[in-house]
Structure formats: C-alpha cells, structure tokens
A and B are shown apart, each in its own frame.
Chain A
C-alpha cells in the first residue's frame, strides 16, 4: 500500500515584542526617519508568514567553443611630417574547452503569484543571516497562540520547486561559463600574439551543456514578515521588516527638499560642465573630438537622471 509523502513544514518564530514596537524602534534608530519621527504616523501594520523552499543545487558544465578574437595594437611610424601613431587590427582563431561547476543556493517562494520586489531583500536577508535567525520550529510543535498574523499556505509542490531551482541554477551557470569562455579566449589570443591586445570575441560555435542535481531540499519554511504603512504630512509610505528579528529590509521614505535642491544643482552642473566641455572639445576637433562626444553624452545623461531624482516621489531604501 502506498503512503502519501508529506513534505515537512517549519515555522520561523516571529519577534516576541509587539509589531508597533518594531516600527517605532526603526523610526528612532534610522538616520533619516528619526529626523521626522514626530510627524510619522503608523496607519496599519500586519504580519504575514510566507512559505519558502531553500534548494541547494550542484550544477556542472563541460564546455567547448571556437572563437574569432580581434586584437589591436598601436604602432608609431615615421612619415615625412614626423612620427605618428596608427592602430593595427588582426584576427585569430582560438579553441576553448574546459569544465566548470558551482553550488547554488536558490530560494523558491512556494506561491504561484510572482514575488514583488519587496520580498527579494527579505529573503536575501534571511539567507545572509540564517545562522543568527531563530531556529525554525516543526509545525506540530508550534504554539499557535504566539503566532501573530496570516500564515499563507504553500501552493508549489517540492518537485516543482526542485525543477525551478535547477532551471535557475543552469541559467546562472550558463552566463558564468560564457564570461569564463570569453576571458579564456582573450587570454589564449594574447599569449599567441604578444604585444597585441584582445578587444573583441565572436563565437563560431559555443556549447555549454548543464547538468544539475539537487543536493539538499529544505523543509517548507514559513518566514515571518511585518508590513507597515505609515504617513508623513498626509503622504503614504510603506516599510517591510524581517519578522524574526525586526530588522528593516525595505522602506519607502519621504524625499527631503534639500536632496531635491541638490539634485537640481547637480543637473545644472552636469549640463554646464560636461555638456559645455563636451561640445567645445568636439568643435575644437582633433584627438579631443571623441572625448567631446562622450562628455556631451554624459552631460545629457547626468542632467536627465538628476532632474528625474529632483522630482521623484519617494526614496527606496533596501538592505545593502
């Protein structure tokens, strides 16, 4: 007779202090928010337990490829007018092969809806501080009277989570191997042609197979988060805290008028200094033309970015 397999579920205990206290501790401690804490009003606060798998995956690739590497060198030649520099270009074919493997730790939220950006720093913080976080409790030992908030049910089966984690690991391995192959191709070309600098790699063919296996699958971890909505001068903002230790992991914060003024000033300086120097050098011609175009582009980009900053509605703060 077959028996249904039940994947274990554990719960990370939430903070013992009240949720309001977690919020007000942040308003006292945070460098920016503490300046306006007297005008901050907590509108609502709730706790939610998010189901999560942590999947450890081993991924391996035996790669090979053939690349055409472009190399350049600058030579000084004597002409009737004197000495002048000239850039020379050549191509070479190199064959790259090798093996690469890596262990990945992939968090998979056990919900079908795609995760909002606010959840990403929460999960990253849990993975980074997993040793300091309170030990998860098996579901059968949980004292439910102490659990505040909504516990979300897992919607994704363990085998689906495994497949998803393997897919993600192979995608990541693929891009790592691509970078490695490009570096190797450039190094080989540089060794074959001393004095030349490799500048561009194009591939005739590139084979990057990926084999992956799940090394360890965690139980379903119910991870607590605290979501607060607060107001400042009738404006609404939100903050997200790690539910197990009260650390703020994501927050929207008011933009001060000083920072708006600084951004505007930066836009003026960017336009004037970079744009002005850029177009002047371009007009001047000669070797400075290319630099002039680059400076002009930087001036435009800086001016655009800084005016966007000057009128933005909110500052987003996440854990570094």
Chain B
C-alpha cells in the first residue's frame, strides 16, 4: 500500500494515510480534513456503540437458529471465533432540486436525504440499501480509533453526490413540463458531512467450520449472516422436493382424468411443471451447506 504524508491544518501534526484516501482524520486532534483542498469539516459524527460484542454474538446466533434450514443444535454447539468492531464511513447528502416555471417557481420539487457508503471496501454484507436505525449520534472523537477498525473514506463525495441525486433532476423537470415548456433547474443539493457508523463483525464456528455475521452496533440488528445447513434439514428439503413433485403429478393426473379420461397424462405434466416452481425454493437451500440471511427493508 502506498502511503502519503499529510499535515493536519489544525494542529500541525504529520501522519500517513493510504494514497487512495480522499478524506483523513488526524489521529492527534481528531480533525477531519479533505486532503485535496486542506479544508476542514464541521459535520463529522459518530454513532454510539450501544450493543456490546456478547449481545451482538447472541443476536447473530439467535437469528441463525431461527432459519428453517439451520441445525437444531446450532446455539448449543456454536462457539465464538474472531470478532471485530468496524467504523464504516457514510456520506450524508441533502438532495434539493427545483424546476422553475415563469409563473410557478416550484413547478417541480425533489427533496430527499441520502446516505451512501464512503468506502469502496465495506465489511461483507453491507450495502447502500441498508437503512440505518434512528439512534443518537455525537461529534467524532479520535479515541474511537483505538476500539476497532477505522475505515477511511476513499470515495469522492462529488462523485457520490451525482449518485445521490440519481433521477431527481429528471423527475423535477418532468413535473415542471406539466406547466411550462422551458423550466429552469435550480439544484441546491449538497454534501452534508460524514458519519462513522459502528458494526460488529461476528465470527463463530460450528463443527469446525467458520461462519460470519455483521451486526449493527447501535441497536443489535443482524444485517448479514452465514449459517450452516443441517444434514437432517437438507434431507428434509430434498425429500420434500420429491414429495411435492410426485404428489403434484398424482393429483394433476386425477384432475386431468376427471376433465377427460384421455388427459390424465397432460394433468400429470401440469402437476410436475407447477411443482418444479415450488421446488426451486427447497433446492436452493437443500443442495448447499451454507445459507445466507440478509436483512430486508
């Protein structure tokens, strides 16, 4: 990794950061600096850790245990392995776009707040679609660097602002075209600042194999999880697949015969085809040894 030397514009201390990093935090005074311009930030927040590792581990195992295909004895035989606290940077944006017509200055409005991952290498399982819970935050403090892995933002907020805006300009213009032919676009969208958000990387072992989970350290929500698929459950799923198709064919054959005695075979094919659609769900779990869980919504 190529490093470069940075001088903090606030306290004057010198420190090294990877060359790909665009925003750095001074490890001596905690100031947040945009390396390219030397500009300092006011809005750099951190969310408090409200859930300790033991609770995060318990939550991860509890969610793994409730998966249909996980083995019944998972919570008894699972043992903790490597765990780590990650502070993941997010950029916060305020999208405010107005399309103006001569007699209506707000003919089209698009207004929203967007948070996007500021690192190109977030912990496994964390995506931009994750909805962060409403919890307390405070100004960034450098002492957090001692508690876990601090991820430096390495993505340019100016590029991500465009991603945050997305189709908002087009939508505002589309609204305004309803009122006039040549609406004028006013874009007040801005980058508000950085938030560092804590996640527990939870590791556990089951029958000698390693599994991974990512848990929100502010409220204990399990964001992503890998879990073993038990051999009994695998057999159950594979047996269920066969039973579904065979029973579907048998019932289909009877129904076909009832419609017309020559159509018993066609009914059986219909039952088979429909059964296959259901079997997809069973086989998805039944043929693998590791399942994954992702938080929805």
Q: Which of A117, A306, A313 contacts B297 (CB 8 A)?
A: A117
A42 nearest CB across to chain B (Å) = 13
Known: A116-B133, A209-B107, A227-B219. A272 touches B247 (CB 8 A): yes
A176 nearest CB across to chain B (Å) = 15
| A304 in contact with B277 (CB, 8 Å) | yes
Q: B68 within 8 Å of A by Cβ?
A: yes
The number of residues on chain A lying at the interface, defined by a beta carbon within 8 Å of a beta carbon of chain B, is 74
Q: CA of A164 to CA of B97 in the docked complex: distance in angstroms?
A: 11
B230-255: which residues lie under 8 A (CB-CB) from chain A?
237, 240, 243-245, 247-255
In the assembled complex, which residues on chain A have CB atoms less than 8 Å from the CB atom of B61?
Answer: 234, 236
Q: B192 within 8 Å of A by Cβ?
A: yes
Residue interface mask A225-269, B partner, CB < 8 A = 1: 001010101111100000000000000001100001000100111
Max chain A CB contacts within 10 Å: which of B104, B240, B271, B272?
A: B271
| A276 in contact with B267 (CB, 8 Å) | yes
A279-308: which residues lie under 8 A (CB-CB) from chain B?
279-284, 296, 299-304, 306-308
The number of residues on chain B lying at the interface, defined by a beta carbon within 8 Å of a beta carbon of chain A, is 76
Q: CA of A275 to CA of B165 in the docked complex: distance in angstroms?
A: 46
Known: A229-B220, A271-B248, A313-B67. A303 touches B277 (CB 8 A): yes
Q: B273 within 8 Å of A by Cβ?
A: yes
In the assembled complex, which residues on chain B have CB atoms less than 8 Å from the CB atom of A282?
Answer: 266, 270
Q: B189 within 8 Å of A by Cβ?
A: no
Q: Which of B134, B240, B249, B269 contacts A113 (CB 8 A)?
A: B134
| A152 in contact with B297 (CB, 8 Å) | no
Name A309's closest neighbour in chain B (CB-CB).
Answer: B281
Q: B22 within 8 Å of A by Cβ?
A: no
B75 nearest CB across to chain A (Å) = 4
| B62 in contact with A235 (CB, 8 Å) | yes
Q: Which of A115, A166, A209, A279 contacts B270 (CB 8 A)?
A: A279
Interface residues of B (CB under 8 A from A): 55, 58-59, 61-63, 65-69, 75-76, 92, 94, 96, 104, 106-107, 109-113, 115, 131-136, 175, 178-179, 192, 219-220, 222, 237, 240, 243-245, 247-256, 259-260, 263, 266-282, 285, 293, 297
The 8 closest A-B pairs by CB, nearest first: A272-B251, A276-B252, A236-B62, A275-B274, A279-B270, A271-B248, A303-B278, A235-B66
Interface residues of A (CB under 8 A from B): 43-44, 48, 50, 109, 111-117, 119, 150, 152-153, 156, 160, 163-164, 166-167, 170, 174, 207-211, 227, 229, 231, 233-237, 254-255, 260, 264, 267-284, 296, 299-304, 306-308, 310-314
Given contacts A113-B133, A267-B275, 6 further A-B contacts (CB under 8 A): A112-B113, A236-B65, A276-B271, A296-B273, A303-B248, A313-B66
Q: 12 A-B pairs, CB-CB below 8 angstroms? A: A44-B55, A115-B134, A166-B109, A167-B111, A234-B61, A270-B278, A271-B274, A271-B278, A275-B275, A279-B256, A299-B271, A310-B281
